[in-house]
């Protein structure tokens, strides 16, 4: 049959459990869904207000493959002002969200059999994209190291096939930010080797403490560093599907070819809105996330589930292995018996945990924690 004649890599591809459990929650009347990592705020009005004037100005035609020149210039200036990075506009590609930036990055650097290391728990797409690109995903488990990178464990995974290390900080699903020791461990592991470091920094501006390092701070490894960013998280623009990547001129000339044949370019009428977004201060949203983080962490601690307090993003990742259930079974039962949906930790590489997103209303979070307390209480009496 023709369905058996597809690209062989598709037969091992998995559907997103985040979407699966979101759909289960939606199909369950009255269920509170804390599954999706999506800001519950609307896109700021001043950003959205740029779209109709752009359409009225006729900005509905083809633009440069890499994004409009003035947006790439604005991104380069933004990264220089905020993070001290010296990328030029020609070293920026505007992408269809961070997902396409990650795909373009990994597709551009991987040959069949090349290995990609990622600290886990991790966003599942790192493994999926690596597999799609015929690479080999190599997990570096950090769960027993406070979600930080142990240098000895990292070095034990480095081989002559290692092509990239993917860093996501603050992390999805844990909310943990990698500290300077973790960054130094990666620096020491890749310096002098033909290994790229892909910095998935999409939660960089949703952070609750100062002086959190980024691997891009190591300017001497510029040629080995690929920065991935998104407008989705800090500016509540998830549905816009706009992000960007920055990379050294020595490699971006080839990377833009992979980008161009994937999507040609991002939508023309959104370019001006993204320029505007770079001028918007996300601090009020971050402060609200911090208040929600403080609330949900306190309640989960009162309920008695172990967790590491997040440094940023909008997730908590408590342990549930005391109950002898897989994270998938735990989450299925919680939807059915408590009307509360979370994402199984197995989705991120560790079955001992579940992930709650606190990008939800205060009322939903309050009710969710009451339902969680009831559900855990019942489990503990079984």
**Per CATH, which fold does 2-43+282-380 belong to?**
3.90.1150
With contact defined as beta carbons under 8 Å apart, do 262 and 236 qualify?
A: no
Sequence-separated (6 or more) residues with CB below 8 Å from residue 65: 256, 259, 260, 264, 265
List the pLDDT tens digit at each of the 382 positions of the chain.
776 778 888 777 777 777 787 888 788 899 999 998 889 899 999 999 999 999 999 999 999 999 999 999 999 999 999 999 999 999 999 999 999 999 999 999 999 999 999 999 999 999 999 999 999 999 999 999 999 999 999 999 999 999 999 999 999 999 999 999 999 999 999 999 999 999 999 999 999 988 789 999 999 999 999 999 999 999 999 999 999 999 999 999 999 999 999 999 999 999 999 999 999 999 999 999 999 999 999 999 999 999 999 999 999 999 999 999 999 999 999 999 999 999 999 999 999 999 999 999 999 999 999 999 999 999 999 8
What pLDDT was estimated at residue 338? Answer: 96
What pLDDT was estimated at residue 309? Answer: 96
What pLDDT was estimated at residue 178? Answer: 97
2-43+282-380 and 47-277 share one CATH topology? no
For the segment(s) 47-277, the CATH number from 3.40.640.10, 3.40.50.150, 3.30.750.24, 2.60.120.10 is: 3.40.640.10
205 SS3 class: coil
What pLDDT was estimated at residue 47? Answer: 98
For 141, list phi and psi in degrees, rounded to 5. Answer: -70, 125
Half-sphere exposure of 157 (CA within 13 A, CB side): 25
- Residue 268 to residue 266: CA distance in whole angstroms: 6
With tokens 């489990």, the residue in question is: 379
133 SS3 class: coil
What pLDDT was estimated at residue 294? Answer: 98
With contact defined as beta carbons under 8 Å apart, do 235 and 44 qualify?
A: yes
Domain layout of the chain by residue ranges: 2-43+282-380, 47-277
- Residue 265 to residue 279: CA distance in whole angstroms: 23
With contact defined as beta carbons under 8 Å apart, do 93 and 245 qualify?
A: yes
Sequence-separated (6 or more) residues with CB below 8 Å from residue 220: none
What pLDDT was estimated at residue 25? Answer: 75
- Residue 199 to residue 246: CA distance in whole angstroms: 10
């Amino acid at each position: 049959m023709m369905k058996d004649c597809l690209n062989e890599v598709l037969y091992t591809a998995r559907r997103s459990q985040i979407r699966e459990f979101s759909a289960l929650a939606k199909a369950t009347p009255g269920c509170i869904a804390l599954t999706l990592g999506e800001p519950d705020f609307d896109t700021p009005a001043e950003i959205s207000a740029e779209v109709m004037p752009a359409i009225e100005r006729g900005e509905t035609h083809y633009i440069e493959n890499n994004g409009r020149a003035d947006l790439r210039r604005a991104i380069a200036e933004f990264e220089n002002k905020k993070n001290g990075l010296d990328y030029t506009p020609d070293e920026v590609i505007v992408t269809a969200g961070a997902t396409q930036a990650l795909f373009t990055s990994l597709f551009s650097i991987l040959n069949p059999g090349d290995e990609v290391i990622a600290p886990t728990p991790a966003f599942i797409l790192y493994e999926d994209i690596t597999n799609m690109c015929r690479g080999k995903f190599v997990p570096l488990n950090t769960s027993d190291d406070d979600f930080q990178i142990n240098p000895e464990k990292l070095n034990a995974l480095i081989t002559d096939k290692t092509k990239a290390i993917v860093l996501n900080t603050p992390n999805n699903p844990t909310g943990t930010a990698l500290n300077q020791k973790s960054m130094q461990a990666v620096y020491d592991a890749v310096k002098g080797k033909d290994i790229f470091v892909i910095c998935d920094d999409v939660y960089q501006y949703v952070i609750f403490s100062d002086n959190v390092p980024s691997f891009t701070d190591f300017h001497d490894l510029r040629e080995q560093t690929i920065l991935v960013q998104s407008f989705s998280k800090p500016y509540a623009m998830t549905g816009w599907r706009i992000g960007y990547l920055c990379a050294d001129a020595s490699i971006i000339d080839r990377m833009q070819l992979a980008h161009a044949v994937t999507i040609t370019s991002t939508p023309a009428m959104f370019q001006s809105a993204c320029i505007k977004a770079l001028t918007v201060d996300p601090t009020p949203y971050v402060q609200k996330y911090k208040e929600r983080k403080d609330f949900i962490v306190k309640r989960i601690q009162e309920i008695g589930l172990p967790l590491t307090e997040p440094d940023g993003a909008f997730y908590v990742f408590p342990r549930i292995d005391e109950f002898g259930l897989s994270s998938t079974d735990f989450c299925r039962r919680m939807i059915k018996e408590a009307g509360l949906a979370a994402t199984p930790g197995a989705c991120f590489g560790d079955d001992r945990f579940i992930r709650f997103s606190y990008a939800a209303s205060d009322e939903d979070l309050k009710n969710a924690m009451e339902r969680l307390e009831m559900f855990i209480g019942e489990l503990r009496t079984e």
